[in-house]
Amino acid sequence: MTLVSGPDKAAVKAYLLDLQDRICQALAAEDGGAGFVEDSWVRSEGGGGRSRVLTNGKVIEKGGVNFSHVHGTQMPASATAHRPELAGRSFEAMGVSLVIHPHNPYVPTSHANVRFFIAEKEGAAPVWWFGGGYDLTPYYGNEEDVVHWHQTAKNACDPLGEHLYPKFKKWCDEYFFLKHRGEARGVGGLFFDDYNAENFDHSFALMQAVGDSYIPAYVPIVNARKAAAFTERERDFQLYRRGRYVEFNLVYDRGTLFGLQTGGRTESILMSLPPLVRWEYNWQPDAGSPEAELYEKFLPHREWLK
């Protein structure tokens, strides 16, 4: 980890608050029904945030877009487990995290997150990094949508380094993978962490590029699929596949673990969970069915861009 001085925490926070505003405005406009309800909270150990949740909209069954800025005198175990040299430092963590669960099974669930972390100690240079990304979880695969998603991600990264999209795409494939199931959660996108390459301005610009590209990546897919007709069969499959989302977030997700270990607000941390979900014992899709196609064509890792 490179030790660098001079990160602009105020600029990062201002960007994140504005990003939350812009994403909520765009998603509420696309939904055309319910708006986001804001719930501000304070963390007793230091910091707080504002959670915004949209429920039972015309398009979005449940969506949450959270901003948090927390700080403390001791790094949590989730952060020092792979970085023991940071034990004993104070920390600040800020970010925007969102999950959108649509009603229509033909509209994919999406997740996005951008974050900044800094650990400080008197007499030593601060240690800081950025992280984030976004991933798409379709229930019924559509290659046009997935290519658009990945092309938008690549277009966001390329101006800051053409090596970044392939690296972050691979990282996303590996991260959002349910090892106990032996399958991907969805069709991937971008994931990066511990990023402080070159200098603060470059790293901050990358986080902004990823954050700014989420709406152009997701809203056109929602717009194209939200009016698709579906039956109880498709809805049942959507609820079954949502179970994978729950399993990943509760077993593997770093953000969930960090939030719980730092005494974050539980309601905000778990807002990513879908409102309805179902599990079935040893369920298997019918051969040749659209449900089987998801497992055979879309969930296996592949390169979507030619």
Rounded Cα distance, 109 and 274, in Å: 10
Count CA atoms closer than 13 A to 50's CA, side-chain side: 12
Please give the structure tokens belonging to residue 112: 């996005």
Query: Which candidate in 69, 71, 101, 111 is catalytic?
Result: 111
Identify whether 202 is a catalytic site residue: no
- The 10 Å Cβ neighbour count of residue 183 is 14
End-to-end Cα distance, the chain = 34
Contact 189, 169 (CB under 8 A): yes
Q: Which residues contact 40 (CB under 8 A, 6 or more apart)?
A: 48, 49, 50, 51
Q: What secondary structure letter does DSSP report for 144? A: H
Which residues are 120's β-sheet partners? 90
Rounded Cα distance, 84 and 75, in Å: 10
Q: Name the residues annotated as catalytic.
A: 111
